[in-house]
Amino acid sequence: MNKAALHVAVLAFALVGATEASALTKIKAGIESSPGSLIYDVMTFFEKDLEARLPGEVEFEFVPGGQLGKDIDVMNGLKLGTHEMTIACSPVQSVEPTLGLFEAPFLITTRDDAKKVVFGPIGEKLMANLTAKGIVGLHLTELGFRQITNNVRPISKPEDLKGLRIRIPNTPFRKTIFERLGANPTPIAFGETYAALRQGVIDGQENPLPSIYGAKFYEVQKYLTMANYLFTPCTMMASPIFFSAWPQNVQDAVKASAKAAAEYSFTRGAELDEKYLAEMKTTSEIGQIDAAAFQPLMRPLWEEIGKKVGPDLMQETITTITN
């Protein structure tokens, strides 16, 4: 079956039971994250919020743990119409490169700064860019500020990273950051990271605390370094094929619930950071980077990233944060 025929078939299927606002619209999302992660909590909130907005009119289900595929596979499925909804984080840059502005190290350092970007005109532009690429961008949410774990040594200054094999998501900007710091960045799917750490294929990884805790990386990592060097958002997305087949009131409710879930993500993210840091003090040796030692090496990357995402967009982001 060719791509056009597949779209027609999927659209016909999606229209069944959804041609009238009063019909029950069933929506299924696949996510790679598991219970205990912030993403899982955000999707749980979204489910309750959406069904509360349209009681008896919509039934939402999300399948965790990558059971419906890895992030990149599900995103491809959104374009093809084989998947309906998802939320993913760094891998979304492979579809919409302007999301790479969040790869500028030490640019966004507080949640207040992040909210200015996520809930303002820049966030709207990024979602419009993604929609133009064939995936409906619903809203950015928080994944969190990225920390570093490893099994070799504590990290406080740039030279401590030299030679360490650090797992990163498959994003070119992240690779550049760790290469500049002398590490050996290794792209590995999130769902495969625990096994790679346990087997010694890699020395460490970098993720926000809820992701580290939810994936139980503390079981196979000795050192946790609080770095806060990047703020990473996630993106709630829908297949344009399914989205366009949903009744208008369902489309509106999905967008409204996505924004509500984004607001919740910041509140819940702060709660989980405090909770998981306290809990991991019993399993890990926790340290802090010397941010002043890292910033001279990292600040020049802003201009390089700006060239790739658009100098105007990068400058608008800097202005938004500093005002």
Structural domains in the chain plus CATH codes: 3-322 (3.40.190.170)
What is the structure's pLDDT at 109? 87
What is the structure's pLDDT at 4? 52
pLDDT (tens digit per residue) in 87-116: 999 899 999 999 999 999 999 989 999 999
What is the structure's pLDDT at 204? 98
Which residues of the chain fall below pLDDT 70? Answer: 1-22
Whole-prediction pTM: 0.84
Q: What is the mean pLDDT of the chain?
A: 92
Cβ(6)–Cβ(45) under 8 Å? no
What is the structure's pLDDT at 11? 52
Pull the structure tokens for residue 63.
């399948």
What is the structure's pLDDT at 210? 87
Q: What whole-number distance in Å separates Cα of residue 192 and Cα of residue 69?
A: 12
What is the structure's pLDDT at 18? 44
